[in-house]
Amino acid sequence: MQQLANFRDVGGLRAADGRCVRRGVLYRGDATFTGDGPPVGAISWPPAVVLDLRSEGERRSTSPWPSGTTVHEIALLAELGSALRGVEEVGTLRGLYLELVRQSTAQLAQIVQLVATSSGPILLHCALGKDRTGVAVAAVLLAVDVEPEMIVADYELTAPNVAKVLWRLRALGVEVPPDDELPHQALAVDTAALRAVLEEISSAPGGARGWLRRHGVSEADFEALEHKLLG
């Protein structure tokens, strides 16, 4: 039975007030396919809600979720196509991540709202679970004041999984160029790039919540998000 190659529960990450993100509430991962079994580490499966950050073209080869799962398709930086192509066009992961934050702010705010207001476990994913997922998870966690170094440490857990995800995609017939034809950044986990995102969001007037508030996230959303993630 197939397994997701870059799946994990975000639970356990510590917020500034000492509380930790609850387990079994927010998952992150790579794309699912027909034949996938419940991933290791999932307290309950399938998730009640899926936030799919891929472009429309990327979704064509993946399997539908069961009727009990609600799927929200929220393409991040759709004009750049896939994250791999996006790295080529922007040049660096730092550039890609900051481009994503600056051009997809409304979508990131929508993701925060959906995590806050959805019932049941949530899976947030893109193709690899690295770039778009990494930035989106960072925005959600900053909204409840999870410590930046905890967010970076969670992001770093993707590093040993990138090769596994690419192997899995190719084995499932997804068109992915050979590694030697991909830009180095497409295979990399770059903590400096994620730290640039954390700084971009946190240094806005009012911090992360001020940044999100200006793009539609309400106080009620923040309260619901804090209750959902931190209890």
How does pLDDT run across 36-92, given as a tens digit for each residue?
999 999 999 999 999 999 988 788 767 779 999 999 999 987 543 444 454 555 568
Domains and CATH numbers, the chain: 8-230 (3.90.190.10)
Question: Are the CB atoms for 48 and 120 separated by under 8 Å?
Answer: yes
Give the range among 6-20, 46-60, 80-94, 217-231 with minimum mean pLDDT. Answer: 80-94
CA atoms within 13 A on the CB side of 92: 9
Q: State how far the Cα of 137 lies from the Cα of 179, in Å rounded to an integer.
A: 26
N residues, the chain: 231
Q: How are beta strands 70-73 and 8-9 bridged, if at all?
A: unpaired
Q: Scanning the structure block, which residue is given the tokens 């959902």?
A: 228
pLDDT of residue 82: 46
Question: Are the CB atoms for 12 and 156 separated by under 8 Å?
Answer: no
| Rg of the chain on CA atoms, in Å | 16
pLDDT of residue 8: 98
Average pLDDT over residues 129-135: 96
User: b/e string for 12-24 if b means 16 or more Cβ within 10 A?
Assistant: ebebeeeeebbee
Return mean pLDDT, the chain.
91
Q: Quick check: helix, strand or coil at residue 27?
A: strand
Q: Quick check: helix, strand or coil at residue 76?
A: coil
Rounded to whole angstroms, what are the CA distances from 92 to 6, 75, 131, 147, 229? Answer: 22, 20, 12, 25, 32
pLDDT classification of 112: cutoffs 50, 70, 90: very high
Question: Are the CB atoms for 105 and 215 separated by under 8 Å?
Answer: yes
- The structure tokens listed for 103 are 């051009």
pLDDT of residue 43: 96
Question: Are the CB atoms for 193 and 100 separated by under 8 Å?
Answer: no
pLDDT of residue 171: 92
- The structure tokens listed for 210 are 């001020």
Query: Does the structure show a pLDDT above 50 at 212?
Result: yes
Q: State how far the Cα of 4 lies from the Cα of 29, in Å rounded to an integer.
A: 7
Query: Does the structure show a pLDDT above 90 at 18?
Result: yes
Query: Does the structure show a pLDDT above 50 at 209?
Result: yes
How does pLDDT run across 159-194, given as a tens digit for each residue?
999 999 999 999 988 888 888 887 777 789 999 999
Global pTM reads 0.94
Question: Are the CB atoms for 59 and 73 separated by under 8 Å?
Answer: yes
Question: Are the CB atoms for 54 and 75 separated by under 8 Å?
Answer: yes
**Cα angle vertex 106, ends 121, 15, to 5°?**
50
Q: Quick check: helix, strand or coil at residue 184?
A: helix
